Amino acid sequence: MSVTINAHQLGRLIDKVRGHIGSEYTEVLHGIRLDVDATDLHAVASDRFTVAAARYRLNADQQGQEPWARTIPASWLKTLREWASAHGGGDTITISTETGFVVFGAESTEIRIPVTDDQEFPNWRSLLTGIAANIPTKFAFPAVDSRMLARWAGTDDTLRVHVTTDLTALMVFGEDFIGAQMPRRYNGVGPSGESTFEEALAQWPTLDDNNEALADMAAEMPTEQKPRYSAADTIPDMVEALLQQTLRSTSDLLGAPSEDPGAMASYALAGVNAWSAYRFLAALHQADPRLAAQTVAELGEELDAGDFSESAWDIAKAAGHDPQKWSDDYEAHLKKNAEKRAA
Protein backbone atom coordinates (compact mmCIF):
# COMPACT_ATOMS: atom_id res chain seq x y z
CA MET A 1 0.00 0.00 0.00
CA SER A 2 1.68 3.22 -1.14
CA VAL A 3 0.88 6.66 -2.55
CA THR A 4 3.06 9.45 -3.93
CA ILE A 5 2.97 13.19 -3.26
CA ASN A 6 5.49 15.96 -3.83
CA ALA A 7 7.40 17.35 -0.87
CA HIS A 8 5.69 20.75 -1.02
CA GLN A 9 2.19 19.25 -0.87
CA LEU A 10 3.16 16.92 1.96
CA GLY A 11 4.34 19.93 3.97
CA ARG A 12 1.09 21.77 3.22
CA LEU A 13 -1.01 18.83 4.40
CA ILE A 14 0.84 18.75 7.71
CA ASP A 15 0.68 22.53 8.18
CA LYS A 16 -3.04 22.76 7.48
CA VAL A 17 -4.04 20.43 10.31
CA ARG A 18 -1.20 20.31 12.87
CA GLY A 19 -2.77 23.14 14.91
CA HIS A 20 -5.73 20.86 15.66
CA ILE A 21 -3.77 17.98 17.21
CA GLY A 22 -5.13 16.69 20.51
CA SER A 23 -3.22 16.73 23.78
CA GLU A 24 -0.97 14.00 25.12
CA TYR A 25 -3.82 13.01 27.45
CA THR A 26 -5.93 11.84 24.47
CA GLU A 27 -3.58 9.31 22.89
CA VAL A 28 -5.70 8.50 19.82
CA LEU A 29 -5.80 12.21 18.90
CA HIS A 30 -2.18 13.05 19.71
CA GLY A 31 -0.97 13.04 16.13
CA ILE A 32 -2.03 13.43 12.50
CA ARG A 33 -4.08 10.72 10.84
CA LEU A 34 -3.08 9.82 7.28
CA ASP A 35 -6.20 8.43 5.64
CA VAL A 36 -6.15 7.11 2.07
CA ASP A 37 -9.35 6.25 0.22
CA ALA A 38 -10.07 5.50 -3.43
CA THR A 39 -9.29 9.02 -4.65
CA ASP A 40 -7.46 11.09 -2.02
CA LEU A 41 -4.76 11.19 0.62
CA HIS A 42 -6.13 12.97 3.69
CA ALA A 43 -4.38 14.45 6.71
CA VAL A 44 -6.78 14.68 9.65
CA ALA A 45 -6.39 16.05 13.17
CA SER A 46 -8.70 16.75 16.08
CA ASP A 47 -8.33 18.09 19.61
CA ARG A 48 -11.87 17.01 20.62
CA PHE A 49 -13.17 20.54 20.03
CA THR A 50 -12.17 20.97 16.39
CA VAL A 51 -11.80 18.61 13.46
CA ALA A 52 -9.66 19.47 10.43
CA ALA A 53 -9.17 17.43 7.26
CA ALA A 54 -6.95 18.39 4.32
CA ARG A 55 -6.70 16.35 1.12
CA TYR A 56 -4.45 15.70 -1.85
CA ARG A 57 -5.89 14.13 -5.01
CA LEU A 58 -4.01 10.96 -5.93
CA ASN A 59 -2.68 10.38 -9.41
CA ALA A 60 -5.05 8.42 -11.63
CA ASP A 61 -2.85 5.31 -11.54
CA GLN A 62 -3.05 5.24 -7.72
CA GLN A 63 -6.78 5.72 -7.40
CA GLY A 64 -9.04 2.81 -6.56
CA GLN A 65 -6.63 1.15 -4.15
CA GLU A 66 -7.66 -0.46 -0.90
CA PRO A 67 -8.24 2.22 1.80
CA TRP A 68 -5.78 2.44 4.68
CA ALA A 69 -5.11 4.79 7.59
CA ARG A 70 -2.38 5.28 10.18
CA THR A 71 -1.78 7.93 12.85
CA ILE A 72 1.60 9.67 12.81
CA PRO A 73 2.48 10.37 16.49
CA ALA A 74 2.85 14.05 17.43
CA SER A 75 6.41 13.44 18.63
CA TRP A 76 7.46 12.66 15.04
CA LEU A 77 5.78 15.56 13.25
CA LYS A 78 8.57 18.11 13.68
CA THR A 79 11.10 15.63 12.30
CA LEU A 80 8.82 14.68 9.40
CA ARG A 81 8.11 18.32 8.53
CA GLU A 82 11.79 19.23 8.55
CA TRP A 83 12.63 16.15 6.47
CA ALA A 84 10.04 17.12 3.86
CA SER A 85 11.32 20.72 3.80
CA ALA A 86 14.87 19.50 3.18
CA HIS A 87 13.77 18.25 -0.24
CA GLY A 88 12.94 20.30 -3.29
CA GLY A 89 9.25 21.18 -3.42
CA GLY A 90 8.74 19.11 -6.55
CA ASP A 91 10.59 16.04 -5.27
CA THR A 92 8.42 12.94 -5.19
CA ILE A 93 7.73 11.41 -1.79
CA THR A 94 6.41 7.86 -1.59
CA ILE A 95 4.33 7.02 1.47
CA SER A 96 3.96 3.33 2.22
CA THR A 97 3.02 1.12 5.15
CA GLU A 98 4.81 -1.82 6.72
CA THR A 99 3.90 -3.71 9.84
CA GLY A 100 4.38 -1.18 12.65
CA PHE A 101 5.70 1.60 10.40
CA VAL A 102 4.79 4.31 7.92
CA VAL A 103 7.69 4.87 5.54
CA PHE A 104 8.33 8.17 3.74
CA GLY A 105 10.81 7.67 0.94
CA ALA A 106 12.54 10.07 -1.45
CA GLU A 107 15.10 9.37 -4.16
CA SER A 108 18.05 8.96 -1.79
CA THR A 109 16.64 9.07 1.76
CA GLU A 110 13.76 7.71 3.77
CA ILE A 111 12.27 8.14 7.20
CA ARG A 112 10.53 5.29 9.03
CA ILE A 113 8.00 6.31 11.66
CA PRO A 114 6.76 3.70 14.16
CA VAL A 115 2.96 3.57 14.41
CA THR A 116 0.26 1.43 15.97
CA ASP A 117 -1.36 -0.37 13.04
CA ASP A 118 -4.73 -0.98 14.69
CA GLN A 119 -5.00 2.35 16.52
CA GLU A 120 -8.51 3.74 16.36
CA PHE A 121 -9.46 7.28 15.33
CA PRO A 122 -12.84 9.05 15.35
CA ASN A 123 -14.85 8.60 12.16
CA TRP A 124 -14.18 12.11 10.90
CA ARG A 125 -16.26 11.58 7.75
CA SER A 126 -19.39 10.79 9.75
CA LEU A 127 -18.68 13.58 12.21
CA LEU A 128 -18.44 16.24 9.51
CA THR A 129 -21.38 14.85 7.55
CA GLY A 130 -23.45 14.83 10.73
CA ILE A 131 -22.70 18.51 11.30
CA ALA A 132 -23.45 19.36 7.68
CA ALA A 133 -26.78 17.54 7.90
CA ASN A 134 -28.00 20.14 10.42
CA ILE A 135 -27.34 23.09 8.11
CA PRO A 136 -30.47 24.47 6.37
CA THR A 137 -30.56 24.18 2.60
CA LYS A 138 -30.64 27.95 2.12
CA PHE A 139 -27.97 28.66 4.70
CA ALA A 140 -25.90 31.81 4.09
CA PHE A 141 -22.42 30.74 3.06
CA PRO A 142 -20.03 33.70 3.01
CA ALA A 143 -16.28 33.25 2.65
CA VAL A 144 -13.81 34.62 5.22
CA ASP A 145 -10.04 35.07 5.16
CA SER A 146 -8.57 32.46 7.54
CA ARG A 147 -5.65 34.77 8.36
CA MET A 148 -8.08 37.37 9.69
CA LEU A 149 -9.74 34.86 12.00
CA ALA A 150 -6.54 34.80 14.06
CA ARG A 151 -7.09 38.47 14.91
CA TRP A 152 -9.90 37.52 17.29
CA ALA A 153 -7.57 35.45 19.48
CA GLY A 154 -6.47 38.54 21.40
CA THR A 155 -9.94 39.02 22.88
CA ASP A 156 -9.24 36.19 25.37
CA ASP A 157 -12.94 35.57 25.42
CA THR A 158 -15.58 33.05 24.43
CA LEU A 159 -16.98 34.49 21.23
CA ARG A 160 -20.35 33.96 19.63
CA VAL A 161 -20.54 34.34 15.86
CA HIS A 162 -23.60 35.18 13.79
CA VAL A 163 -23.54 34.63 10.05
CA THR A 164 -25.80 37.19 8.43
CA THR A 165 -26.17 36.88 4.65
CA ASP A 166 -23.85 36.28 1.72
CA LEU A 167 -21.36 39.08 1.08
CA THR A 168 -22.16 40.88 4.35
CA ALA A 169 -20.16 41.06 7.56
CA LEU A 170 -20.12 38.39 10.27
CA MET A 171 -21.01 39.69 13.74
CA VAL A 172 -18.83 38.66 16.67
CA PHE A 173 -19.92 38.97 20.31
CA GLY A 174 -18.07 38.43 23.58
CA GLU A 175 -19.03 39.24 27.17
CA ASP A 176 -17.37 42.65 26.91
CA PHE A 177 -16.61 42.70 23.23
CA ILE A 178 -18.34 43.19 19.91
CA GLY A 179 -16.97 43.20 16.38
CA ALA A 180 -17.51 42.30 12.77
CA GLN A 181 -15.50 40.79 9.92
CA MET A 182 -16.10 41.45 6.26
CA PRO A 183 -16.16 38.44 3.95
CA ARG A 184 -14.05 38.12 0.84
CA ARG A 185 -15.17 37.18 -2.63
CA TYR A 186 -14.75 33.48 -3.28
CA ASN A 187 -13.60 32.47 -6.74
CA GLY A 188 -13.61 28.73 -6.33
CA VAL A 189 -16.38 26.17 -6.64
CA GLY A 190 -19.44 26.96 -8.75
CA PRO A 191 -20.00 28.26 -12.26
CA SER A 192 -20.51 31.85 -11.09
CA GLY A 193 -17.49 31.85 -8.81
CA GLU A 194 -19.76 32.13 -5.74
CA SER A 195 -20.26 28.68 -4.26
CA THR A 196 -23.42 27.64 -2.42
CA PHE A 197 -23.21 25.31 0.54
CA GLU A 198 -24.62 22.45 -1.52
CA GLU A 199 -21.99 22.99 -4.23
CA ALA A 200 -19.16 23.08 -1.70
CA LEU A 201 -20.35 19.92 0.09
CA ALA A 202 -20.66 18.15 -3.25
CA GLN A 203 -16.90 18.56 -3.69
CA TRP A 204 -16.41 16.10 -0.79
CA PRO A 205 -18.04 12.91 -2.06
CA THR A 206 -15.76 10.86 0.18
CA LEU A 207 -17.62 12.02 3.29
CA ASP A 208 -19.90 9.36 4.77
CA ASP A 209 -23.23 9.33 2.91
CA ASN A 210 -24.76 6.74 5.24
CA ASN A 211 -27.29 8.88 7.11
CA GLU A 212 -27.84 6.15 9.70
CA ALA A 213 -24.16 6.25 10.63
CA LEU A 214 -23.92 10.00 11.24
CA ALA A 215 -21.99 10.74 14.43
CA ASP A 216 -22.42 13.54 16.96
CA MET A 217 -19.15 15.31 17.70
CA ALA A 218 -19.85 15.94 21.38
CA ALA A 219 -20.84 12.32 21.99
CA GLU A 220 -18.27 10.51 19.87
CA MET A 221 -15.03 12.26 20.77
CA PRO A 222 -12.74 10.34 23.17
CA THR A 223 -12.28 11.79 26.63
CA GLU A 224 -8.97 13.03 28.00
CA GLN A 225 -7.18 10.53 30.22
CA LYS A 226 -5.35 12.95 32.47
CA PRO A 227 -3.32 11.61 35.41
CA ARG A 228 -5.53 11.11 38.44
CA TYR A 229 -3.94 13.94 40.39
CA SER A 230 -3.22 16.30 37.49
CA ALA A 231 -3.71 19.93 38.51
CA ALA A 232 -6.25 22.15 36.78
CA ASP A 233 -4.64 24.30 34.11
CA THR A 234 -7.60 26.29 32.78
CA ILE A 235 -9.78 28.86 34.53
CA PRO A 236 -13.03 26.80 34.32
CA ASP A 237 -11.26 23.70 35.66
CA MET A 238 -9.57 25.68 38.43
CA VAL A 239 -12.84 27.35 39.45
CA GLU A 240 -14.55 23.96 39.60
CA ALA A 241 -11.70 22.44 41.64
CA LEU A 242 -11.63 25.32 44.15
CA LEU A 243 -15.39 25.35 44.68
CA GLN A 244 -15.43 21.56 45.06
CA GLN A 245 -12.64 21.77 47.64
CA THR A 246 -14.48 24.52 49.55
CA LEU A 247 -17.68 22.48 49.77
CA ARG A 248 -15.85 19.21 50.48
CA SER A 249 -13.83 20.79 53.29
CA THR A 250 -16.96 22.28 54.83
CA SER A 251 -18.66 18.88 54.74
CA ASP A 252 -15.58 17.21 56.28
CA LEU A 253 -15.44 19.88 58.99
CA LEU A 254 -19.05 19.31 59.98
CA GLY A 255 -18.45 15.56 60.16
CA ALA A 256 -15.12 15.69 61.99
CA PRO A 257 -15.04 14.28 65.56
CA SER A 258 -14.97 17.09 68.13
CA GLU A 259 -12.24 15.29 70.09
CA ASP A 260 -9.84 15.71 67.17
CA PRO A 261 -9.19 19.49 66.99
CA GLY A 262 -6.27 18.94 64.60
CA ALA A 263 -8.50 17.40 61.95
CA MET A 264 -11.11 20.11 62.42
CA ALA A 265 -8.46 22.80 62.01
CA SER A 266 -7.10 21.13 58.85
CA TYR A 267 -10.54 20.91 57.25
CA ALA A 268 -11.31 24.50 58.16
CA LEU A 269 -7.98 25.75 56.80
CA ALA A 270 -8.42 23.81 53.54
CA GLY A 271 -11.87 25.32 53.03
CA VAL A 272 -10.69 28.84 53.85
CA ASN A 273 -7.72 28.57 51.49
CA ALA A 274 -9.80 27.15 48.64
CA TRP A 275 -12.42 29.89 49.00
CA SER A 276 -9.74 32.58 49.25
CA ALA A 277 -8.03 31.28 46.11
CA TYR A 278 -11.35 31.28 44.26
CA ARG A 279 -12.07 34.88 45.26
CA PHE A 280 -8.59 36.03 44.19
CA LEU A 281 -8.92 34.17 40.88
CA ALA A 282 -12.34 35.70 40.22
CA ALA A 283 -10.97 39.17 40.93
CA LEU A 284 -7.92 38.63 38.71
CA HIS A 285 -10.09 37.32 35.88
CA GLN A 286 -12.28 40.40 36.15
CA ALA A 287 -9.27 42.73 36.09
CA ASP A 288 -7.10 40.94 33.50
CA PRO A 289 -8.50 37.76 31.87
CA ARG A 290 -5.30 37.12 29.94
CA LEU A 291 -3.10 37.29 33.04
CA ALA A 292 -5.56 35.06 34.92
CA ALA A 293 -5.43 32.37 32.21
CA GLN A 294 -1.62 32.55 32.04
CA THR A 295 -1.30 32.33 35.83
CA VAL A 296 -3.60 29.29 36.07
CA ALA A 297 -1.69 27.50 33.28
CA GLU A 298 1.67 28.16 34.96
CA LEU A 299 0.25 27.15 38.35
CA GLY A 300 -0.95 23.85 36.88
CA GLU A 301 2.57 23.11 35.61
CA GLU A 302 4.11 23.99 38.99
CA LEU A 303 1.68 21.80 40.92
CA ASP A 304 2.23 18.86 38.55
CA ALA A 305 6.01 19.29 38.87
CA GLY A 306 5.66 19.04 42.66
CA ASP A 307 8.57 21.33 43.58
CA PHE A 308 6.47 24.34 44.61
CA SER A 309 7.38 23.92 48.30
CA GLU A 310 11.05 24.52 47.43
CA SER A 311 10.04 27.62 45.48
CA ALA A 312 7.98 28.83 48.43
CA TRP A 313 11.00 28.46 50.73
CA ASP A 314 13.19 30.52 48.38
CA ILE A 315 10.52 33.18 47.89
CA ALA A 316 9.99 33.47 51.65
CA LYS A 317 13.73 34.00 52.22
CA ALA A 318 13.91 36.56 49.39
CA ALA A 319 11.02 38.44 51.00
CA GLY A 320 12.96 38.75 54.30
CA HIS A 321 11.17 36.00 56.23
CA ASP A 322 12.73 33.11 58.13
CA PRO A 323 11.22 29.86 56.77
CA GLN A 324 13.53 27.81 58.98
CA LYS A 325 11.99 29.40 62.08
CA TRP A 326 8.53 28.70 60.70
CA SER A 327 9.51 25.07 60.27
CA ASP A 328 11.03 24.83 63.75
CA ASP A 329 8.01 26.48 65.38
CA TYR A 330 5.65 24.11 63.57
CA GLU A 331 7.67 21.06 64.61
CA ALA A 332 7.58 22.28 68.22
CA HIS A 333 3.81 22.75 67.95
CA LEU A 334 3.34 19.20 66.67
CA LYS A 335 5.57 17.82 69.43
CA LYS A 336 3.61 19.69 72.09
CA ASN A 337 0.31 18.35 70.78
CA ALA A 338 1.69 14.80 70.69
CA GLU A 339 2.81 15.10 74.32
CA LYS A 340 -0.65 16.32 75.32
CA ARG A 341 -2.30 13.36 73.66
CA ALA A 342 0.14 10.93 75.31
CA ALA A 343 -0.44 12.37 78.81
Starting at the edge strand found earlier in the chain, the sheet holding 177-181 runs 160-162, 170-174, 177-181
Of 70, 98, 121, the last residue of a domain is: 121
**Entry pTM:** 0.70
240 and 182 fall within a common domain: no
Full DSSP string of 185-214: ---SSSTTS---HHHHHHT-TTS---GGG-
pLDDT digits (tens, 9 = 90+) for 154-169: 776 678 888 877 778 8
| Per-residue pLDDT band at 133 (split at 50, 70, 90) | confident
End-to-end CA distance of the chain: 80
pLDDT at 99: 95
Q: What is the pLDDT of residue 221?
A: 83
List the domain range (segments joined by +) for residue 17: 2-121
The three state secondary structure string of 7-34 is HHHHHHHHHHHHHHCCCCCCHHHCEEEE
**Could you tell me if 260 and 194 lie in one domain?**
no
Domain end: 215, 244, 266, which one?
Answer: 215
Whether 288 is covered by a domain: the verdict is: yes
249 and 335 belong to one structural domain:
yes
Residues 167 and 102 in one domain: no
Domain membership flag for residue 223: no
pLDDT at 156: 64
* Residue 154 maps to a domain: yes
Can you tell me the mean pLDDT for 263-270? 82
Task: Assess whether 96 and 31 both reside in one domain.
Answer: yes
Average confidence (pLDDT) over 236-240: 88
What are the phi and psi torsion angles at 339 (to 5°)?
A: -65, -35
Q: What is the pLDDT of residue 33?
A: 97
One domain, residues 190 and 278: no
172: in domain: yes
